[in-house]
Amino acid sequence: MIGIVIMIVLGMVVSMAFGFAGRTKWWHWLSAALVSSFLFQVIVFVQLGYMDPFAPIAFIVTTVGYLVLSGVIFAVFKSIRH
């Protein structure tokens, strides 16, 4: 269980590092959110041993959540840089 938590945190850190790159295009935020959501679904698949029937819904919800989180991180990073 601890290994799964570490993998989730590591995936989020990787996506946040991608968001921290100082990119200004909207698709950089979207790609960071998509990578994070994909990693989350892979981790859930590994933990459960099968694909969750609600995986598409969870993918969309986590993508929106990570997109908001990436936007907040970018705004903080941008305010610090200027």
Q: What is the pLDDT of residue 57?
A: 93
- pLDDT digits 0-9 by tens, 45-70: 888 889 889 999 988 988 888 787 77
pTM: 0.68
Residue 49 structural domain:
2-81
Domains identified in the chain, total number: 1
Residues in CB range of 71: below 8 A, 6 or more apart = 29
Residue of 25 and 41 predicted with greater confidence = 41
Structure confidence at residue 17 as a pLDDT band (50, 70, 90): low
Q: In angstroms, rounded to a whole number, what is the distance separating the alpha carbons of residues 65 and 73?
A: 12
Q: Is the pLDDT of residue 4 over 90?
A: no
